[in-house]
């Protein structure tokens, strides 16, 4: 048995979905452990592209796919996703949804939007999917859980009571219209009927799978710098996307984790607000955005683009206990000219630090210290063998390994499943 945790090492959108899909055929279970439909995991198989938000990216080949206890589930969004899969002829009978997961209610999305609007220019730039408000209700111990959908009378009772309280806040604090609980109940009843057969005690199920000695792959959403505690607070999400989040979100002990695979985009991107030391605001950033189609899979927003930052990667390596790296989008960097790697931050007093700071305000004053490496012009998307990569691409990868001290085991040279170079197998 081998359990691998796959996490994003940057600000999300590292290509987690494509690597989960690639590894899923060797795993017996794929488990999402945090986040919700704020995630947008893109999987490309043959000539078809799928954008998954809640359903694990193992759905195309793995025999068990679990939405774990730490996830916040919008049943309406989940049903939409299942309908999309059905339309594409994808069998999702392997899906299991944790009875302990939280339910996103329409008021969570409304509060997410109202709070962002109230913040104006200092907004966080959330996906407005209700993620923060749903986790707030969980911490406040008033959240509705997936198990409450099993007996709909329990759900109805809880939802009616909560709607009353939320409508007080909506109308009196925000001067906004109240929610219509009757409409909500009709919609959620339909969704409950569809997802009920998939609801189960996923903690018990997962432990059975592990006791049988089977391989498990944990699929992180978002990224290390979006972690609620460890990330660029307050410009973060409301869950723990780091490897430690697996223990709580899936219900396993830390000793059950064998390997932690950090997914690294060959450059850096970020959606939403917050500091970004290596951000490229000019033509180069624009070039990378267009070449890499860097637009959010969930919200369609243009992603901010910049050079690779090993201060971030080293921070990620330590926090997640990374044992291996997979690099995505090496193809995108081909043809952009020389490439840069940030190895430190120059502080206003002229000294250089390689410590990622707790205060995001400090990051805004830092200047990146770069190493410049020669680029590669060739189209590398057809390459499947590491040795065939252009020398400059290999030198770039070697430099990342040297600066982080973590071995690279896989390389993405395109979005498609087959556009993957395997250096070492982890299953
Ligand atoms: P995947 O799994 C990139 C960002 C939002 C915003 C912040 C908080 O596809 O990598 P939230 O709606 O979570 O309260 O928003 O987090 N964000 C992501 N950025 N990829 C994601 O997921 C993200 N999920 C949330 O843009 O800055
Ligand atoms: Mg995304």
**Whether the CB of 302 sits within 6 Å of ligand 1:** no
Domains observed in the chain = 3-98+210-259 (3.40.440.10), 103-195 (1.10.300.10), 263-422 (3.90.170.10)
Q: Is the CB of 226 under 6 A from ligand 1?
A: yes
pLDDT (average), residues 317-344: 97
* DSSP letter for each residue of 142-173: ---BGGGGTSHHHHHHHHHHHHHHHHHIIIII
Ligand 1 centroid from CA 315, angstroms: 19
Query: How does pLDDT run across 188-246, given as a tens digit for each residue?
Result: 999 999 999 999 999 999 999 999 999 999 999 999 999 999 999 999 999 999 999 99
User: Does the Cβ of 241 fall within 6 Å of ligand 1?
Assistant: no
Q: Give the model confidence (pLDDT) of 93-135 as tens digits.
A: 999 999 999 999 999 999 999 999 999 999 999 999 999 999 9
**Site to substitute for ligand 1 among 55, 226, 294, most atoms within 8 A of C-beta:** 226
Ligand 1 atom closest to residue 273's alpha carbon, by position in its atom list: 27
Tell which atom from ligand 1 comes closest to the C-alpha of 226: 16
Question: Which residues 6+ apart lie within 8 Å of 121 measured at CB?
Answer: none
41 is catalytic: yes
244-285: per-residue pLDDT in tens? 999 999 999 999 999 999 999 999 999 999 999 999 999 999
Quick one: 294 exposed, middle or buried, by C-beta within 10 A (0-12, 13-18, 19+)? Answer: buried
pLDDT tens for each residue of 284-326? 999 999 999 999 988 999 999 999 999 999 999 999 999 999 9
* pLDDT band at residue 378 under the 50/70/90 scheme: confident
For 119, the token pair is 């913040």
């Amino acid at each position: 048995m081998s359990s691998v945790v796959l996490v994003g090492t940057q600000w999300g959108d590292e290509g987690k979905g494509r690597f989960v899909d690639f590894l899923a055929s060797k795993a017996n279970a794929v488990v999402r452990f945090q986040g919700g439909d704020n995630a947008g995991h893109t999987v490309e198989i043959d000539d078809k592209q799928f954008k998954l938000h809640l359903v694990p990216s193992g759905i195309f080949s793995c025999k068990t796919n679990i939405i774990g206890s730490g996830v916040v589930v919008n049943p309406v969004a989940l049903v939409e996703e299942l309908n999309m899969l059905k339309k594409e002829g994808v069998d999702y009978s392997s899906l299991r949804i944790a009875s302990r997961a939280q339910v996103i209610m329409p008021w969570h999305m409304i509060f997410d939007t109202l709070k962002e609007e109230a913040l104006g220019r200092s907004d966080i730039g959330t996906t407005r999917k209700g993620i923060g408000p749903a986790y707030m209700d969980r911490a406040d111990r008033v959240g509705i859980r997936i198990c409450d959908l099993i007996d709909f009378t329990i759900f109805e009772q809880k939802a009616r009571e909560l709607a009353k309280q939320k409508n007080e806040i909506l109308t009196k604090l925000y001067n906004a219209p109240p929610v219509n609980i009757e409409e909500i109940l009709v919609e959620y009843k339909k969704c409950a009927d569809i997802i009920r057969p998939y609801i189960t005690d996923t903690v018990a199920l997962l432990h059975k799978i592990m006791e049988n000695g089977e391989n498990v792959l944990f699929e992180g959403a978002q990224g290390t710098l979006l972690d609620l505690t460890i990330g660029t607070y307050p410009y973060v999400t409301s869950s723990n996307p780091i490897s430690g989040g697996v223990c709580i979100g899936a219900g396993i002990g830390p000793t059950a984790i064998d390997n932690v695979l950090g997914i690294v985009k060959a450059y850096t991107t970020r959606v939403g607000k917050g500091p970004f030391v290596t951000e490229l605001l000019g033509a180069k950033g624009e070039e990378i955005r267009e070449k890499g189609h860097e637009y959010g899979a969930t919200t369609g927003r243009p992603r901010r683009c910049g050079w690779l930052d090993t201060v971030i990667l080293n921070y990620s390596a330590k926090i997640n206990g990374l044992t291996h790296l997979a690099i995505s989008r090496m193809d995108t960097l081909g043809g952009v000219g020389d490439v840069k790697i940030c190895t430190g931050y120059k502080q206003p007093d002229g000294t250089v630090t390689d410590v990622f700071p707790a205060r995001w305000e400090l990051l805004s004053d830092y200047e990146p210290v770069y190493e410049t490496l020669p680029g590669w012009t060739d189209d590398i998307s057809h390459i499947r063998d590491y040795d065939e990569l252009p020398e400059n691409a290999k030198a770039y990868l070697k430099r990342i390994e040297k600066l982080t001290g973590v071995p690279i085991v896989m390389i993405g040279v395109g979005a498609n499943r087959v556009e993957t170079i395997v250096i070492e197998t982890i299953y």
